[in-house]
Structure 1
């Protein structure tokens, strides 16, 4: 911004010097007549009906001819649906240029009333991701539509546009600063106020500390909550694992009465070893065989 101002000041000095050097010479600037484009009435094609009317009225004022000739000139600059609309109208409804222009305005102009357009204008607010320039252009376009439908509906367009811009910028701090400027400088223009808004916004971004947006704070809160939940789940899992280990150990050491009885009944009374009965004890057979051998030897 500062760089642009410096360049502008330098150019102004250069321009002043040139004017000073050429003060002895006088030039007369004659603007080139603007060519009137044909109006078709198709949406998205060429100029709007209001732009066409402004251009054609300006040209007709410079033509000292009869109404009939002016109507012919006007119709010669129509094309497509617009030309067909005028062609099929009754001759009594197109005797002078104003009647033809009224037909075009009624057929191809804005369908909303001035009141409806004004209500839409006053309800327009800057969106969160919309730049100040874009917001100002939206307001200017909507105000221009109101003037096209009825140029007397808003008595002070410049002041209305300026106040609406200051009242509806998205940033609350900037909105407050712009209102202060309006109170301190009641004669400030819309362009001056918009430029001030841009400068204030840029200056705040450069010098003010970065603030954590609400959505970031929400993310941090959710992250903290998730961390606490993870810790809680971990503690519960550790406790559950400890309980399982304890139950497993108890299952290993615990014996039921049936199992103890079966082990006791299967204990051998001969050798006192588990796993078999006395009649099946291998040691008892060995003892019996040895006794028979000794008795047979004694009888001999």
Structure 2
């Protein structure tokens, strides 16, 4: 009887770490150093069990010849340590301007006439990132996110949008740059189809009418809501006097709010 063929040896399948996209750093543009560091660190974080040699290979594989030549001039302990090698690259080829100079650079940014909201937000964020990275490199406490957020919304070309975002921020001071940015981009991209996040709360029951509204309609509704809130606050201080003086923002008659206006909601 023929011998039964031996079962094939079981081999272990090695799953390689998914490649992370990294923009190669040539050392000729200091403004790219913070982004390069962020991408390298993301790549390292994606392979937590890798050796120091592997992480060093990832770093060296994403720098240009000038940067590699500089590293060869560093002491052996720097060349063999990925963290120290990255620090050396950032020290030599990174941003050299002072925090004061970088802050001034950020504060001079304005949205240019042909520039989209998204592109302007990228410019602001890049300038802010350079500033905080430089502060951290010299042991200085970095500026908070609200510096970036406030500068961005204060320098948008669309005045109506800027006012909406300011109203949102007044009601929700904890809003971040990312939230403000997303709201601004939706406004710019969709126009009347979208409303910025966290604007004065407006509900269907309080504002009957068609769902599609122009920017002017939304602005009027937001301002009306804010003014009515002010009326309620004043009511708490002098209810009777405020009821006598209150004017409806629709018919301009005293004694009721716009949402309760009999002219807007005629009885059958």
Name the TM-score, length of structure 2 as normaliser: 0.49
Q: Which has the higher contact order (CA 8 A, sep 6+)?
A: 2
Whichever structure has more helix as a proportion of its residues is 1
Name the TM-score, length of structure 1 as normaliser: 0.45
